[in-house]
Amino acid sequence: MFIPKKSKYKKVFKGRIKGNTKGGSTLSFGDYGLKAMEAGRIQSKHIETARRVISRTLKRSGKVWIRIFPDTPVSKKPADVRMGKGKGSVEFWVFKAKPGRMLFEISSDVPMHLARLALEKATAKLPMKCKFVSNHN
């Protein structure tokens, strides 16, 4: 699981995910990528599951880059606890994805049809709509 080693604040406000991404919207490392089409919170377990699906589909060939990291804590109060008495403890970590953000990239030494298959399988594991992008026309 992806968890930050150190964080400036233990707990943060919920906030809203507004607008499109300002950076990280183009392919930087590989030739194939998975781009977010809508806003959402991606948990660390979603990232790990998608990474596993991609690496198993590619059968360990090629290189995979994970362009996101869950840096926002989400707190939750235990079950059967009354309202009040402070904010709950941190339950999991999320990455707040905006539309247009590149999530995963795959190197060019993988055939395009295999890269597309791997990233479409990974899309099914993510809580938002995503699309396959490529440097090749």
| 2-28 pLDDT tens trace | 888 998 999 999 999 999 999 999 999
The pLDDT score that the predictor gives to residue 58 is 94
Mean pLDDT of 35-57: 96
Query: What proportion of the chain, given as a percentage, has pLDDT over 90?
Result: 91
In sequence order, the β-bridge partners of residue 76 are 89
Mean pLDDT of 30-52: 96
Phi, psi of 93 (to 5 degrees): -115, 145
Domain count, the chain: 1
pTM comes to 0.90
**Number of Cβ within a 10 Å radius of residue 129:** 12
What are the structure tokens assigned to 129, written together? 């709509």
Phi, psi of 71 (to 5 degrees): -120, 5
For residue 122, the enclosing domain spans 30-75+87-132
The pLDDT score that the predictor gives to residue 2 is 85
- DSSP, collapsed to helix, strand or coil, labels residue 76 as strand
80 in any annotated domain: no
Phi, psi of 59 (to 5 degrees): 55, 45
- Domain of 67, CATH number, reads 3.90.1170.10
The pLDDT score that the predictor gives to residue 137 is 59
Mean pLDDT of 57-75: 94
34 in any annotated domain: yes
pLDDT band at 63 (very low <50, low <70, confident <90, very high): very high
